[in-house]
Structures are given as structure tokens and as C-alpha cells.
Chain A
Amino acid sequence: MTELPISPYPALLVGLPILMATLSLFFRTRGEALVGLIGALLTTGLAIMAFVEVVQRGAVIHILGGWEPPLGILLRMDPLAAVFIGMTALVGVFISLYAWRYFRALETTTGGLPLFWPLWLFLWAGLNGLFLSNDLFNLFVTIEVIGICAVALAVLSGKSTALSAGLRYLLAAITGSMAYLFGVALIYGSTGTLDLGLLGQVLEPGTTTTFALLVITLGLMIKMAGFPFHFWLPPAHSSALAPVSALLSALVVKGAFYILLRLWMEVFGVSLTYAAGQFIGIAGAIAVIWGSWQAFMQTSLKLIVAHSSVAQLGYLLMVFPLLILAPGVTADSADWLSSAWTAGIYQVISHAFAKASFFLSAGIIIMALGHDRIESLRDLVGHMRITAMAIGIAGVSLIGLPPSGGFMAKWMLLKGIFLSGQWWWAPVVLAGSLLTAGYVFMLLRLAFAPAREKEPFRPVPKSLEVFALLLALGSFLIVFPADSLIQFLESSEVFGTGVESILKGGVHGNN
């Protein structure tokens, strides 16, 4: 581990947003926003530089303060982490730009809402820290930071719906963290280490490990709103302010997925059985169908988008059964692992872009109409064509139609499903696409329909519309560098691996 090249970037990626967040606390509304925006832009630039660093040098590490683990903290940036950090930066910068304009527009009505910027930058630091963490306790700290910032952001508007939704969110977040922490304690008690790399080697299968795996998975499932723990997500994500909804849906839930993926693939291989993969897959499948159906039944735009997140996260869970191999199947013979990984990564990225765009568009519509009941979307195309276009493009990516990132994800997922012989997931993927098409085109149909009465579409800053559109386009543009991106990811140790579930003890295999 320590022979990896040392680089300052991992530390900066966490430190810089914290610094700027703290700095912004010293200013009031406009000043806070300015410092915050500068912080966001700097962090984005830094993330890009760090990404390039990893592309050039491979995985890098940073040892905080020079204290070697287990005493000190080691941050590790491998290609997988770099991709997540890059995605957070790209999506985050557009949300930041949008937020800057959005809160300026709100100033006239609310007199400005303080604290968005410091909270968002702390959250960003937390996310970067999460992607870079290399031990179980650091991961706990980052998910706590993320959880607290996320809940605070969710209730920022101060409306009563947001507060009650926020309370539920808080409860879920705390329960999730506690479950996770309990699992970590069990692991620490039995092995005496928290380092992921070390744990992957020393962890013994047994009741304790299995139980720890169970509670950690449970905690993370709550955090990422995996079925049946999704109940807190729709109210919390739909009642928050637009930029916040976008952050929560596009980025925050992906953090929990990232940990789950890493822990299952790198640490808990010894305790995973084929059934465990299938079990998570079933939860994902139900989420896809149920979430899409719920989205289809909603009558307000933000609730549609929020329920859609439950479904889209379900697709992520459906990757797990493909990665946990059936007994007797070796990782070398499992030729679908790369497809499954690609499906997972592309689902994460394309959903981040598309969903951020969708929530930002919803915010624009609320700004223009004062509400988001979908029957008022009639003739949206005539009034706000850029927003209508953003919704259309982001929607197409969510459905998974070509040539979007969502298409790449669905293609690879379906291919992995067929190659692995687990054909029973295929109807879920297709039904999910059709249901998604159902609610996306329901919105588009209204957008094209003639207006019944003169709805007052208030004018909205054009730049807001443009940012939403750019994010939507992003969910398509990510397809073009796919080949290079996957080659880059393949240089990471974990990408393309599967867990061989042999009865009693397993080994990692590289594909």
C-alpha cells in the first residue's frame, strides 16, 4: 500500500472545501455566496487536476501529517475514486453556478438564505473524503459529516413540509450511521484493524463477520435509500430547495453506494454468498418497479423526480448479483464482470447528470409558476423551451434511450444479465425503462399540450435554464469518452473484479 506514489491532492481535495466553507462563514449573504462560489470553482479545478494526476501516475496516496497508519490517516485516490471525485466536481460546479444565480433571485422574496454555501462546501469535503478514505472509521466520519450537512441543507427553506421531511431524513441518517458504526465496532473487535486493504486480507469468515456485514449493509442501504428503506427520500428530496434537491439526489446517495460497493468487493468477499447478491438484487428490482410506478402516479413534478431516484438507485443495486458469482464460477471465466461494472459506473454518472438537471429544471418551473403541479406544465415548450429541452434530454437519459449515458448503463446491465445467465433480471430492466418512459413522456406530452388557461409564467433568469440544459447534455456527452474511461478504471484494482462465493471462504479474483 505505502509503495504507491505520494501526492498532495487527496489532502487538498478535502482541505480546500473545508477552508473555503469556514471562510464563507465570516461573510453575510452576498459575500458568503461569493466566497462559496469561488470555493466551488477552486475545488472543481483541483478535482480536475487531481484526476489528471491519477490518469498520469495511477493510484496515489497521501499520509496526513506524516503519521503512518494505523496511527495516522491515509487517503488513497485510485481510478475509481478519481472518477467519483471528477463526477462530483463536474455536476457540483454546475449546481453551484445555478445556486449562485438561484439564491440571488430568491433574495428579493426571502431576503437571502444564509448557510447554503458553507454547508454545501462541507458536504463536498465530506464526499471527497469518503471517496478517498481507506479505513472504516474514516468512512464513518465522512458519512456523518455528509449526513449532517445534507439534513441541514434539506431544511434550509424552513418550510414546514421541509422540516417534517428533514426530521425523517435525520432519523434515517442516524439509524443508518449507527448500524454502520456497530458493524465497524464488531470488525475492529475481531480483527483489531480498520484499514480496508488489511481487512481484505485478514478478515476471517464467521458469525461475527457475517453479522457485521449485515448491519453495515443495512446501514448503507438506509443511507442510499435502497428498497425497503427508501421511505425518507421522496419527501426529503422533493421538499428541499432546487439546488439542494439536485445535490442530494445526484451526489449524496451515491456516496453510500460507493462505500457499499467498495466494502463488498474489497473487504467482505469472505462472507458473501451468491444468495446475498441475489437478495440485494431483488431489493433493487423492487425499487426499480415500485419507484418508477410511484413516480408515474405523482402529480407534482418534484415528487415524480424524487421517486424516480428511488428507481434509478435500484438499478445500482441490481449490479451486485452480477458481481457475486455463483458457487463454482471463477472470476476468470466470468466474462460479464466488466460489463456489470461499466453498467454500475455509468448508471451512477448518467443519473448524477440527468437527475441534477431534472431537479434544477423543476426549480426553474417552481420559480416561474410558484408551484410544481404537473397540469400547469401545459405549453411549457412555448414558454420555456430551454427548460423543456433539458427535461426532455435528461428524461431520455433516465429512460436509457441511445445515445445517452443511461443507454450505456442499460445496455451493459442487460448484457451482463444475459452473459451471466441470470436472465430473470431482464424483464425488470425493460419494465423499468417502459415505466420511466411513461412518466417522462407524460411530462413531455403536457409540455407540448395547448395551454388551457393563461398560467402566469413569471420570467426566470435565462442562465438558470442554461445550467440545467448543460447538465442534461452532460448525461449524453459522457458516452463519448466511455472507452478511455473504462480503460482508466480497469487500471484500478477493484474494477472488473467479482467475488467468488465458494462455500466457506472465498477469494478475490481479477478479471
Chain B
Amino acid sequence: METTSLLPLLIIISSIIPGVLILLLREEQVALRTFLNLFGAVAKVSLIGWVFAGYLRGEEYTFSYNLALDLTFSLRVDQLGLFFAALSSVLWLVTTLYAIGYLEGGQHRRRFFAFFSLCVTASTGIALSGNVVTFFIFYEFLTLSTYPLVVHRGTDKAVKAGRTYLWYTIGGGTVLFLGVVGLYVVAGPIYFGQTEIIANLISVYPTQLTILFFLMLVGLGVKAAIFPLHGWLPVSMVAPAPVSALLHAVAVVKAGAFGIVRLVYDVYGIGIAEQMNFLSVLAVFAAFTIIYGSLRALYQDDFKKRLAFSTVSQLSYIALGVAIPGVLTSTGAIVHLVHQGIMKITMFFTAGNIAETYGYYKISQLNGIGRRMPLTMGAFTIAAFGMIGLPPIAGFISKWYLGLGAVEAGSYWVVLVLLASSALNAAYFLPIVYRAWFCEPEHEVVPQLRSGRLETQALLLIPVVVTGILSLAAGVFAAMAGSPLSIAREIAEKLYLL
């Protein structure tokens, strides 16, 4: 049954190699660098597709390397991991295209793309980790590979933001480290899915395992930006748009959210987590963060800051879905990993496009922008409606499942939280949509960047249109086999069968 395969390792390596090679290139070697970037991105998507197909045929892919004593580096392919890996790799491909256009003529592009590749390596590593320690290794690697991206602009503001980012993530990493080592000592090396280990030990070491759960939750909560650990996220918005897009829609924040999913579903097991009341604590913090993030978003005039606080809020849907046991809420949580990713990346692309093309950074400057950038703003509008939860867009599906599941579980207060959040989402996204389409621009605008008859450069436009369409498609075709929803549903059903 267990067969060793190099494929998971290849998936990881497919972005390390371009990353390292790019670092060795000279700054001027643009064509070669672009080729390496795209080659890596396409290779990764194809490999994941290949493995996914194999997995559906019932093949198993594992790779492990014993580091020392019982410390084992292990990569394993399971459905949840593949789901996250697929999300990361597809969005990486799109974002790579975007970044090539965005950074054209910028400084230190070699460094940027090298660390960009390493960052996605970490992200897919997190997805395919087979055990807790491997997850931790990639989780920390992600912190390190994203730091140079956050400070990329090299301004004092960027460097300061980098400092905040590090204090949060290194601090969180240290707490997680403590939790992971503790878990190793109490329960031995735990592979994801071996929930029976904790189930057997919980009556022997209830206090220790409780403490360890919360240590790990705090460590993961930093990246998942759960209140009060979210402070780094809005500050890190000084990073260039592609970084904000990928990091804050996929790589970093999702690493935290995905970690929470793993911790509850595949380490402790949902039964134990519920029985020990871990979930109710998580639910309270998640619900509070949902409302808090939205309230803060209301007051931001800076476009990216508003998006950042919206991310804080939206991410906690995942945590909330995890915290309410039930097939439907689990489905909602898992599918929101993807849905939030594609919708939020669309929004960050939009912010980047407007900033690049017209030099606008504030929402109050966006009057009439829709007529000048109809495709970009069209995509944004889809994503915004999705975030609010209007059918048939992706975000509606997530909220629908979360709401249904909450009712099924008898947690009616969750429905109230969802409704309140939707109202708040509308309150901070609709004004942007309204301004863009229905307000007259205050003064004549001159684009700083044009490319032929397109509203902006093609490499900036294509990604946002693609992710906009994906946001719509994920909702419209949700019922079809192979849609994010159907996969999420399968994963969730397997969880509760056991």
C-alpha cells in the first residue's frame, strides 16, 4: 500500500530550483529569468494535476527521509493537501504572470522572483507535509522566504513593516515550536490522519494535550490572523501588489488557516476537539475576528488596508467552520480556503492595477474608475459580490454551507454572525463598487501606464480577469464533479465517516 514516490518531492523542488537559479542569474537576464519562472510555475501545476489524477485512481504517494532519531521529514499526498497545493500552484502561476508585468523596470527583480519561488515552495510544502514536524519546517521556511518580499521596496516604512511582521511570525513560530516538540514528547511522531493516537492518550494526559493544543493554535493563529494576533497583516500591505495578493490571499494566511484545519481534523480529531471544548474557544475567537475585521475595514480609506482587514475577517470563516462540527460546516470551511483565495487575489490585483495605471491608492479617489477600467472593475465587482455572499458567486457557497451547518448543529448565533458580517461586507465593498461605476470623476485623469487599446498592460489585466472568472465559475459550477465544492464535500464526508 505504502509506496515511496519522488513525485511529492518533485512538486516541492519544481519551485526551489527556479528560485535558486534565478538568484544566480544576473539582473539583466530578464528573458531567462522569466522562462525559469514560468517553467517552474507550469511544471508545478502539471505535476500536481498528475498526482491528483493518480490519487483519484487510488494511488498513494509518500516520500520520507529520516533526519535523526524519530525526526522524520515526510511528504504525503492526501485530498486535503492536494486541494491546498492545487490552489497555491494555480494562483502562483497567475501571480507570476502578474508580477512579471507589475515589476517591469523595477529594482531587485532577481531577488524578488527568487524569494517568490521559495515562498511557494514553502506553501506547497505545507500542503503536502505528512507529519507535524514537516509542517513546522515549511511553516517557518515560509516566514523566512516572505520577509524579503515584505521589505522588498526597501523604504523605511517597508523595513519597519518587516520588523512587525517578523516579531509576530517568529513569536508565533516559537510558540508553535514549543507545541510541536511537546506533542512529539507526549504522543510521539504524529502523521496527519492518525487521530487515534491522541484519542488514546487524551484520558492519560488531558492537561498536557490541552495546553499543547492551544500553544499550536496560537502559533497557527498568528499567520491565520485571528484576533488579537492579526496586527502584522494590515501593516505588511506596504509590500508590492503581487506580494500582497499571493501572501495575503494564499501563502501566508492560508498556511495558518490550513494549519488549523490540520490540527483539528488530522491531529486531534474533531471528536476530541469538540469533547474537550477546544472548538467552542476557537469559535468565539473566530466569530469575534469576523466582526472585528469587518468593522475595522469600514474605516479604511487606503484600498489595500481595507482589503487587508477584510482578509482578517474572511479568514476566520475558515476557523469558524472548523469550530462548528458537522459535515456542512466542514465543507464550508474547506471550500472557503479556495473561494476566499481566488476572490481576494482578484481584489488585490485590482488594487494593484489601479495603483499602477492611475496612481490611486485611496478609495476616495476611485470615482468613475469603472468606466476607465471596465474589465478590472468588473472582476472586482464579481469578487466583491462574492465576498458579500450573493449567489451564484463562490463566496455565497461558502456562507451557505456554513450557515446551513450552523443551523444543523443548533448554533443559531453563528447565523447571526454570518448575517452581520455579510451586512458589514456590503457596507465596505459596495461603496467601492458604487464609486467606480456610478460616480463622476472629480477631475481629469491621465493614466500613467497604457498598452495599446487595453485599459492597462496585458500582463496585469489577464490575471485579474482570469481570477474574476474563476470566482464566478467556482460558484456557478459548484454542483459539478471536480469543482472545489465537490472536492471539499468529499473531504468533509470522509472526516465524519471515520
Contacts and interface: CB of A to CB of B under 8 A. Distances in A.
Interface stretch (A68-76, A263-271, A313-321, A406-414): A406-414
Contact of A402 (B140, B147, B154): B140
B154 A339 contact: no
A448 B68 contact: no
B178 A433 contact: no
Contacts of B163: 441, 445
Interface in B153-203: 154-156, 158-159, 162-163, 166, 170-171, 173-174, 177-178, 181-182, 184-185
B281 interface: no
Given A415-B185, A418-B182, A426-B178, A479 B69 contact: no
Nearest to A426: B178
Contacts of B174: 430, 433-434
B161 to A, nearest CB: 11
**Chain A interface secondary structure, helix, strand, loop or mixed?**
helix
Contacts of B141: 402-403
B178 A448 contact: no
B154 A482 contact: no
Nearest to B166: A441
Contact of A448 (B66, B71, B137, B162): B162
Most chain A beta carbons < 10 A, residue from B71, B137, B147: B71
A379 B140 contact: no
Nearest to B175: A430
A480 B73 CA distance: 10
Chain A interface bracket (under 10, 10 to 19, 20 to 34, 35 or more): 35 or more
A152 interface: no
Contacts of A450: 154-156, 159
Interface in B106-153: 108, 111, 133, 136-137, 140-141, 143-144, 147-148, 151
Interface string A315-350: 000000000000000000000001100100000000
B159 A411 contact: no
Contacts, number: 88
Contacts of A437: 166, 170
Contacts of A379: 154
Given A402-B136, A411-B71, A448-B148, A430 B159 contact: no
Most chain B beta carbons < 10 A, residue from A410, A414, A480: A414
Interface residues of B, number: 35
Contacts of A382: 108, 154
A483 B66 CA distance: 6
Contacts of A410: 177
B27 to A, nearest CB: 10
Contacts of A338: 69
A502 to B, nearest CB: 26
Contacts of B140: 401-402
A470 to B, nearest CB: 14
B170 A482 contact: no
B154 A486 contact: no
Nearest to B68: A482
Contacts of A407: 137
A385 B110 CA distance: 11
B67 interface: yes
B137 A449 contact: no
A50 B140 CA distance: 37
A419 B159 contact: no
A414 B178 contact: yes
Nearest to B171: A434
A430 B173 CA distance: 10
B154 A415 contact: no
A414 B183 CA distance: 12
Contacts of A441: 163, 166, 170
B136 to A, nearest CB: 7
A449 B156 contact: yes
Contacts of B136: 402
Nearest to A386: B23
Nearest to A346: B68
A396 interface: yes
Given A402-B136, A412-B71, 18 more contacts: A381-B154, A385-B111, A401-B140, A401-B173, A402-B141, A403-B137, A408-B67, A410-B177, A414-B178, A419-B185, A430-B174, A433-B177, A434-B170, A437-B170, A441-B170, A445-B151, A448-B159, A486-B68
Interface of B: 66-69, 71, 108, 111, 133, 136-137, 140-141, 143-144, 147-148, 151, 154-156, 158-159, 162-163, 166, 170-171, 173-174, 177-178, 181-182, 184-185
17 contacts: A338-B69, A342-B68, A381-B154, A399-B170, A401-B173, A402-B136, A414-B177, A414-B178, A415-B185, A430-B174, A430-B178, A433-B177, A437-B170, A445-B159, A448-B159, A448-B162, A483-B67
- In the A-B complex, the 9 residue pairs with the smallest Cβ-Cβ separation, listed nearest first, are A482-B68, A402-B137, A418-B185, A414-B181, A448-B151, A449-B159, A483-B66, A437-B170, A402-B140
